[in-house]
């Protein structure tokens, strides 16, 4: 059967279109990690078909904010997708899915290991149907290992990875990162894996399976802290408002109670900082002559800097530091950040017209391409909104579609 999908070669005839135009991705994922991954790909022009069970993605009902009954949490990770309700537990549902796979490029899921095989949508099965298919599974711990079958959530992998132990004030209890980095970063690594597999497929002509573990990603993000430990055996603790290696890479309270963050990590910046703080004697102090010495004597240096910053307001310090070329910033609230002129100039707050009516501000996409920009943001799908449209593309007859609806296979 020849399916009526868009001709992928047409992408070559219009360089102004989004770069993933013509790539079709079947999205079986729910909640955040998987949907965030596929939303990035949708922004880049891929046709994302979000396939949900009859009760839908659980985040459709997640409080506290709703627009005309639609959860803003769901909206934040599912724009620019098409939606279909399909019961994969029924043989006829799997048949519909398998037909979709014949014309698809990628399948994304975030089931626990073993669930895709039980449903008949695993890579081994799908690659028999379409040898070019790329399958990406995002799970808490990966497809193998002693924890593979355990449930996992963002905060669990933050805790297990050691990353949570670094977050918080020294001497205080560990706290999770305020941003859901376990989910978001797993989703971003899934995007990297998918794009790499699609690129490799251009050479081999074959798809492959991508195994993304949220825990793997969080351990990789330990970065230099993990390598420091492996080399020295030292166990890093809470990082607070500072940096393990650079004592002048930290935030300090100003006279008005607001924090000023500085990143004076070169000798020139250190000299500029001392000049702005009107503390020239620090430049002559033998304890602070190099960054290594400043690190060694940070317990003596930090109180001096803390006291100095209490002499002026945050905005006064920011103006003086910026003029002297010392990297600095206010510690913004979310509200402050989303009205920042640089954030607005870069299009990181955009308006989306919701199909139920009204305009909603959403976050932009950080990927900026010179010739093939991201496409227009479209409203996330209502539950099962595009089922009929997709079934027509699969060339199902109207009476067959009606019968499948009556049996609850589609909705």
DSSP for 99-135, written as a single string: HHHHT-SEEEE-PPTTHHHHHT-SHHHHHHH-TT-EE
Identify whether the C-beta of residue 30 lies closer than 8 Å to the C-beta of residue 110: yes
Contact 152, 213 (CB under 8 A): no
State the sign of the Cα–Cα–Cα–Cα dihedral 53, 54, 55, 60.
positive
Whole-model pTM: value is 0.92
C-alpha span between 360 and 380 (Å, rounded): 12
Q: Are 13 and 167 in contact (CB under 8 A)?
A: no
CA–CA distances in Å: residue 57 to residues 70, 73, 251: 12, 11, 40
pLDDT of 276: 98
Residue ranges covered by each domain of the chain: 8-221+353-406, 249-331
- Could you give the CA distance from residue 11 to residue 374 in angstroms, rounded to a whole number? 14
Q: How far apart are CA 135 and CA 210, in angstroms?
A: 6
pLDDT of residue 376: 85
d(CA 132, CA 234): 47
From CA 333, how far away is CA 379, in angstroms rounded?
27
183 is catalytic: yes
Architecture in CATH of 249-331: 2-Layer Sandwich (3.30)
Show pLDDT as tens, one digit a residue, over the chain (411 residues).
333 344 444 444 555 789 999 999 999 999 999 999 999 999 999 999 999 999 999 999 999 999 999 999 999 999 999 999 999 999 999 999 999 999 999 999 999 999 999 999 999 999 999 999 999 999 999 999 999 999 999 999 999 999 999 999 999 999 999 999 999 999 999 999 999 999 999 999 999 999 999 999 999 999 999 999 999 999 999 998 888 788 899 999 999 999 999 999 899 999 999 999 999 999 999 999 999 999 999 999 999 999 999 999 999 999 999 999 999 999 999 999 999 999 999 999 999 999 999 999 999 999 999 998 887 899 999 999 999 999 999 999 999 999 999 999 999
**One of 144, 183, 361, 388 is an active-site residue; which one?**
183
- Judged on CB neighbours under 10 Å (0-12, 13-18, 19+), 350 is middle
Query: How far apart, in whole angstroms, are the C-alpha atoms of residue 101 and residue 87?
Result: 15
The answer to whether the CB of 196 falls within 8 A of the CB of 122 is no
Q: Which residues are bridge partners to 213 per DSSP?
A: 139
CATH hierarchy code of domain 8-221+353-406: 3.40.50.10540
Q: How far is CA 162 from CA 71, 171, 187, 245, in A?
A: 32, 16, 20, 18
Residues 6+ apart with CB under 8 A from 73: 59, 62, 65
How far apart, in whole angstroms, are the C-alpha atoms of residue 387 and residue 49? 10
Task: Answer left, alpha or beta for residue 164, where phi above 0 means left and psi between -120 and 50 means alpha.
Answer: alpha
Q: What is the structure's pLDDT at 11?
A: 45
Concatenate the DSSP letters of all residues of 301-362 into one string.
HHHHHHHHHTTS-HHHHHHHHHHTT--EEE---HHHHTT-HHHHHTT-EEEEE-TTSSEEEE
């Amino acid at each position: 059967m020849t399916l009526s999908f868009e001709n992928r070669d047409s992408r070559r005839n219009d360089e102004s279109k989004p770069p993933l135009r013509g790539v079709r991705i079947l999205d079986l994922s729910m909640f955040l990690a998987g949907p965030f991954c596929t939303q990035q790909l949708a922004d880049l022009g891929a046709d994302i078909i979000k396939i949900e069970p009859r009760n839908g993605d659980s985040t459709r009902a997640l409080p506290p904010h709703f627009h005309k009954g639609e959860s803003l949490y769901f909206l934040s990770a599912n724009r620019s997708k098409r939606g279909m309700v399909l019961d994969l537990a029924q043989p006829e549902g799997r048949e519909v899915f398998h037909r979709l796979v014949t014309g698809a490029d990628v399948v994304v899921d975030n089931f626990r290991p073993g669930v895709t095989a039980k449903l008949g949508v695993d890579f081994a099965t799908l690659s028999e149907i379409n040898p070019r298919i790329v399958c990406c599974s995002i799970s808490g711990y990966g497809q193998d290992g002693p924890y593979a079958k355990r449930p996992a959530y963002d905060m669990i992998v933050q805790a297990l990875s050691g990353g949570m132990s670094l977050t918080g004030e020294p001497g205080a209890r560990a706290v999770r990162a305020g941003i859901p980095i376990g989910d978001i970063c797993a989703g971003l690594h899934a995007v990297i894996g998918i794009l790499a597999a699609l690129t490799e497929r251009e050479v081999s002509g074959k798809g492959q399976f991508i195994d993304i573990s949220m825990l793997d990603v969080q351990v990789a993000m330990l970065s230099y802290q993990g390598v420091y430990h492996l080399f020295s055996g030292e166990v890093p603790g809470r990082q607070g408002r500072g940096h393990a290696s650079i004592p002048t890479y930290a935030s300090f309270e100003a006279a008005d109670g607001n924090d000023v963050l500085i990143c004076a990590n070169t000798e020139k910046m250190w000299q500029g900082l001392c000049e702005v703080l009107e503390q020239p004697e620090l430049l002559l102090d033998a304890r602070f002559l190099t960054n290594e010495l400043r690190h060694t004597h940070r317990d003596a240096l930090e109180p001096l800097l803390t006291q100095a910053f209490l002499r002026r307001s945050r905005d006064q310090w920011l103006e003086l530091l910026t003029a002297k070329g010392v990297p600095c910033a206010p510690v913004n609230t979310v509200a402050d950040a989303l009205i920042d002129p640089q954030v607005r100039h870069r299009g990181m707050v955009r308006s989306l017209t919701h199909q139920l009516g009204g305009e909603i501000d959403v976050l932009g996409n950080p990927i900026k391409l010179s010739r093939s920009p991201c496409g227009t943001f479209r409203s996330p799908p209502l539950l099962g909104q595009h089922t009929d449209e997709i079934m027509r593309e699969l060339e199902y007859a109207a009476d067959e579609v009606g019968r499948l609806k009556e049996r609850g296979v589609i909705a």
